[in-house]
């Protein structure tokens, strides 16, 4: 499995990390471009123009790139990183994941709450199970990750709540579809910044 939570066989495009020098699927990497001011910018949507260079979605790797000046090598020009780069990326990824879940909710492809998620699990509708990082382990352990689905615990209860228009949410789930796949990718990368496991084994 990749850091983004997908099988490597599902990915075609690969890139090399500036720091680890490992070639891996793009799902586990973050793209950067050099701005006209000589400051590197994370391109989380991978749409910014210019020469792109890549880092593994891992806080330690990003911090090392800043400390070692690796961006200049990737940009083939003098390049500086903004202050708190890893924190900026973490915040940006968290926002993207929340927005994706919110879009899924509006299209009827996401639910929140223990009983609703349990019903979806029983019906075989769950592709992504998301549970708050600050929720009770005992409560979260009562739900299971179906075979072929993904589990993420990278968002707090308040962050999950934002996606559903509530103060806080502990349990949520997404059904199959494009938004689920995008959520898997960005939540996987966010896990790398927050030091959490991207996948939890299913329970009987």
CATH number belonging to the domain at 88-194, selected among 1.10.3720.10, 3.40.710.10, 2.60.40.420, 3.30.1330.30? 3.30.1330.30
What pLDDT was estimated at residue 196?
64
Residue 178, pLDDT score: 92
What tokens does 153 get?
Answer: 């615990």
Distance CA 126, CA 148 (A): 9
| H-run or E-run covering 24 | strand 23-25
pLDDT at 201: 39
Cα–Cα distance for residue pair 182/4, rounded to 1 Å: 10
DSSP structure string for 42-56:
E-TTS---S--EEEE
Tell me, what's the pLDDT at 15? 95
pLDDT by residue for the chain (204 residues), tens only, comes to 444 444 444 446 899 999 999 999 999 999 999 999 999 999 999 999 988 999 999 999 999 999 999 999 888 889 999 999 999 999 999 999 999 999 999 999 999 999 999 999 999 999 999 999 999 999 899 999 999 999 999 999 999 999 999 999 999 999 999 999 999 999 999 999 998 654 443 433
- Which one is the CATH code of 8-83: 3.40.50.970, 3.30.2350.10, 3.40.50.1970, 3.30.1230.10? 3.30.1230.10
Residues pairing with 80 in the sheet:
39
Lookup: tokens for 159: 């962050």
């Amino acid at each position: 499995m990749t850091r983004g939570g997908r099988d490597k066989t599902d990915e075609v495009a690969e890139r090399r990390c500036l720091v680890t020098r490992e070639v891996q699927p793009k799902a586990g990497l973050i793209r950067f471009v050099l701005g006209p001011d000589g400051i590197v910018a994370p391109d989380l949507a991978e749409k910014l123009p210019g020469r792109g260079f890549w880092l593994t979605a891992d806080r330690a790797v990003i911090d090392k790139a800043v400390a070692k000046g690796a961006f200049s090598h990737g940009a083939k020009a003098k390049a500086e990183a903004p202050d708190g780069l890893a924190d900026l990326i973490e915040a940006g990824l968290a926002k993207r994941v929340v927005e994706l879940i919110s879009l899924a909710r509006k299209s009827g492809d996401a639910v929140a709450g223990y009983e609703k998620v349990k019903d979806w699990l029983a019906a075989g509708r769950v592709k992504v199970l998301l549970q708050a990082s600050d929720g009770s382990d005992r409560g979260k352990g009562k739900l299971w990750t179906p075979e072929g689905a993904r589990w993420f615990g990278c968002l707090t209860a308040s962050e999950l709540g934002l996606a559903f228009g509530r103060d806080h949410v502990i349990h949520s789930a997404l059904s199959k579809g494009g938004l689920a796949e995008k959520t898997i990718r960005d939540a996987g990368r966010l896990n790398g910044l927050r030091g959490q496991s991207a996948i939890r084994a299913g329970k009987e």
